[in-house]
Amino acid sequence: MYRELHELDRALHKLGFPHQLPEDAFRSPNFSLMACCLTWLLHRVDPAVRVPRTASTEAGRMRFLHAALQAAQVRGRVRLNARRLYAADADAVPELLRLAALLQAPDSVALKHGRGGAHAASASADPSTDPGAGPAVDPAPARRLASELAAATRDTLAVLQRERSLRGLRSQALSLAPEEVERRLVEGASAAEAAAEAASLALDALAPLERATQRKEAT
């Protein structure tokens, strides 16, 4: 964890991040710090990226992640793990590193969208200024990619919502003492045994009626 954190700190420093990550960064969940780093990296990919401000509510965080993941996919062509970023702990560091590594690559998309990117974008937008410009790009793959991204984002948000609903039950189960867990297991086993015995008695009670019905049908 510390090695990856130091790598992220060095990468952010090389890219011009104005702050140094503390030694204990992401040792515990820190969504604000994760969102700050992620937003800054996305703006390095493309200054035109707009993501909503994070909020203290889970709904606000989900809105932020939805926009950030979409921007990373469309502008940076990289898929980030929403669950790890939402955790905002040590698991989020490798995801931020992936985006930082993308910016440090020689053929980084930041060459198109970063500093000086406005001139490059305007030049590439006008085929007359680029003698080697090829034919127009088919928009169908981009539309298909956007559709797949939207579906993946919906699935991710559904998983996060289920995680929120199960969190309370999981915490309650983990808070039980071993003796309490054993007691509940014994009670459950006893209840199941009693139900099986009751079912067996009910079947025994129905046996004479079934035999009488069979004799009546035989005559």
Do residues 65 and 57 make contact, with C-beta atoms less than 8 angstroms apart? no
Residues 107, 108, 109, 114: is their CA dihedral positive or negative?
Answer: negative
Q: Please, what sign has the CA dihedral across residues 105, 108, 114, 116?
A: positive
pLDDT in tens, 153-162: 767 777 777 7
Task: Say how many residues make up the chain.
Answer: 219
Structural tokens at position 83: 């669950």
Nearest to 109 by CA among 86, 78, 153: 78
Residue 107 pLDDT class (50, 70, 90 cuts): low
- Indicate the domain borders of the chain: 2-114+152-175
Range among 86-90, 170-174, 198-202 with highest mean pLDDT value:
86-90
Predicted TM-score (pTM) of this structure:
0.53
- Kindly state the percentage of the chain with pLDDT values over 90: 26
> What band does 92 get if pLDDT is binned at 50, 70 and 90?
very high
Q: What is the pLDDT of residues 108-141, one digit of tens each?
A: 555 455 444 433 334 333 444 444 444 444 556 6
Work out the average pLDDT over 199-209: 76
Average of pLDDT values for 41-50?
90
Say what the pLDDT of residue 83 is: 92
- d(CA 206, CA 208) in angstroms, rounded, equals 6
Sorting pLDDT into bands at 50, 70 and 90, what band is 94?
Answer: very high
Is the separation of the CB atoms in 113 and 75 below 8 Å?
Answer: yes
